[in-house]
Amino acid sequence: MKTLFTLIALLLFAASANAELTIISTNHRDADSFKRFSEFFTGKHSDGRYSVFRSDETSRDGFYVSLLAKDKSILPKVSEVKVQYVKSGSQDIHSFTLPVIELNKKRILVGFTGGEWESGDSHPVAWKIELLDSSSKPIDSAQSFLWSE
């Protein structure tokens, strides 16, 4: 009987485990802010301590949300990053989903990049970012204050 209770407790703990995302910062960044010393010497792109996801992979300029995952062991289960947002002057919810090839860093940077996001004053009014598993179920999420209202 004791073994049964232990097994149930472990299953409940595993089912409730998540990456526990914390919002570190939100800001606009230009392409030069991503250049590392190693890029100057080797010419190879480096994201440093972050796993970076951008709405437009061809552009580094844009609005970024920096997140920190508390439990790194959950991250390999993530197969997509889903971003929902509301633009200034609108109530429509827009979204984009980004595939995850490998997520092995606790620091995650999600960028609204390219086109309209390149302007320094362009940012979403409200946003929500979800880490999804292979069946598109949320593992964890982070959202702006206005998204929750």
The residues spanned by each domain of the chain are 18-148
Tokens of 134: 């292979």
Amino acid at 67: L
Q: Which helix (H) or strand (E) holds 145?
A: helix 145-148
Residue 67, pLDDT score:
97
Taking residues 84-106, report their average pLDDT.
94
Residue 109, strand partner residues = 52, 66
Q: What gap in Å lies between CA 32 and CA 106, rounded to an integer? A: 23
What pLDDT does residue 37 have? 66
Q: Interior CA angle at 24 toward 42 and 37, to 5°?
A: 15
pLDDT at 71: 84
| Topology (CATH level 3) of domain 18-148 | Immunoglobulin-like (2.60.40)
Of the ranges 120-124, 128-132, 139-143, which one carries the lowest mean pLDDT score?
120-124
Kindly report, residue by residue over 16-75, the tens digit of the pLDDT: 455 589 999 999 998 877 776 666 677 676 667 889 999 999 999 999 999 999 988 889
pTM of the model: 0.81
User: What is the pLDDT at residue 46?
Assistant: 63
